[in-house]
Structure 1
Amino acid sequence: MSTYTAGRTDQAMTPRTGSRGPYARTARVRQEIIEAAMAVFAEAGYRATTMKEIARRVGLTDRAIVHHFPNKEELLLSVLAARESESEQLAPRSRGEALAGMLAIANDNMTRPGLVELHSTLSAEATSTEHPAHEHYTKRYMDFREYLAGAFAELKQHGELRFSLEPDELASMLIALWDGLQLQWLYDNDAVAVQKLLRGFLDMVAPAAVSQDVTS
């Protein structure tokens, strides 16, 4: 499901047979801008990134970029929405599969280092309340803790947790481990096996949660 919409055409003035052409081109250009912005934000962070640099990457003028995204803040939020949509498609809907499903997302992340770098850069920058992505990351971490805590709570009800920590505490630990491992992985891809270490942690805490491999 798309997280952004292309500009509308006036159907009263545009022939029906030709309306899909401009619409499709607009959507394609917007997607190209979002992909370029992902790369630049990952490399330089939000504050140091300029719309001019993003325009250069796409091969457009500054004015053309602003036509699709009036400002850098709106472009950033569109980038984050696009990334969240991708992650949601990989995340299982069932709490019983949530923890094993996390490994599938971790595996996917390792194939796209630019997105891992984007998350690591922006999540650190966005701790400032003045950052445009502050609310996004505040909600993201809150929702993610709740999602994982629910999975741990379900395991606890069935007597399948090996640790005495509460589900919400385990959720915070798991998120911290994942973020930290990915950051180390960016520095040394060969030395840090993110998915293997996450699986090892889950196997210690709740082996039943990762008894089935969902990454294949």
Structure 2
Amino acid sequence: MGQAKARGPYAKTPARRAEIVRAARDSFAENGYAKASLRDIADRAGITHAGLLHHFRNKDELLAAVLAERDAEEWQQGVAQVDSPDQLAPYLGELIRHHQKAPELMRLWIELAAAASRSDHPAHAYFAERYERGRAQFAEGFHDEATRSRIREGVSPESAAALFHAVLNGLQLQWVLDQDLDIIGPVTDFVHLLFDHDRADE
């Protein structure tokens, strides 16, 4: 009996799904989404092809899971590293540099987000919920800054949250199209425009 079968590929556990997602993330980053195969991902995860299909029906589901995991990781990192406006721009700069090390994943995220705008797309609910949750979480944080008069006058926390996502995602799209483009500088400038730094330093 092979190693993959011996490990019981049909044991439907969060740990096994996590192994598959990590394997898919590596395969997508190395080979690109189109060239990555479910069999390669299964081999990396140490399970059979049939075992993988017991957890994920197709590559689209796997890609959505990979991107959701990345979102969760980055949100936790942001919460841990950013507790004031002056820390936001440096954190975003490092985050963008990290994304630029895996441009294939950045491109796949952009393509999937656009495709998921269709209500019948399998990832539609995930992306709609992701943006709604992200706007709400950022708006809550921006409300705290607004009470200290640190948000630029005339900009509501809700608008700031929506603009934040639009600028960050839009600049990454531009970079995918032109990888010589500096997008860290514009992100830093946007943060400076968003916050009243004279008050942020108080």
TM-score w.r.t. length of structure 2: 0.71
Superposed CA offset, 1:131-188 (max 9, x none):
1111111111111111221222222111112241211111111211111111110111
Which of 168, 180, 193 is the matching residue for 2:170? 180
Distance in 2 (CA, whole Å) between partners of 1:136 and 1:25 is 21
How has the CA–CA distance of structure 1 residues 7 and 103 changed in structure 2, closer, same or farther, with 3 Å as cutoff? farther
Please report the RMSD computed on the Cα atoms of aligned residues, expressed in angstroms.
3.5
Q: Does 1:197 align with 2:186?
A: yes
Distance in 1 (CA, whole Å) between partners of 2:154 and 2:110 is 30
Aligned to 1:31: 22
C-alpha displacement at 1:129, in angstroms? 1.3
Aligned to 1:138: 128
How has the CA–CA distance of structure 1 residues 81 and 177 changed in structure 2, closer, same or farther, with 3 Å as cutoff? closer
Q: Which runs of 5+ in 2 are unaligned?
A: 1-8
How has the CA–CA distance of structure 1 residues 27 and 77 changed in structure 2, closer, same or farther, with 3 Å as cutoff? closer
How has the CA–CA distance of structure 1 residues 66 and 87 changed in structure 2, closer, same or farther, with 3 Å as cutoff? farther
Q: Does 1:96 align with 2:84?
A: yes
C-alpha displacement at 1:43, in angstroms? 4.7
TM-score w.r.t. length of structure 1: 0.67
The within-5 A match list for 1:53-72 is 54-55=37-38, 57-58=40-41, 64-70=48-54, 71-72=57-58
Q: Which moved more, 1:25-34 or 1:179-188?
A: 25-34
Query: Identity of aligned pairs, percent?
Result: 24
Letter in 2 for 1:117: R
C-alpha displacement at 1:38, in angstroms? 5.9
Distance in 2 (CA, whole Å) between partners of 1:187 and 1:79 is 22
Q: How many residues align?
A: 181
C-alpha displacement at 1:111, in angstroms? 2.2
C-alpha displacement at 1:57, in angstroms? 4.8
Q: Which runs of 5+ in 1 are unaligned?
A: 1-5, 10-23
Which of 56, 65, 77 is the matching residue for 1:78? 65
The within-5 A match list for 1:88-167 is 88-93=75-80, 96=84, 99-100=88-89, 101-167=91-157
C-alpha displacement at 1:80, in angstroms? 2.9
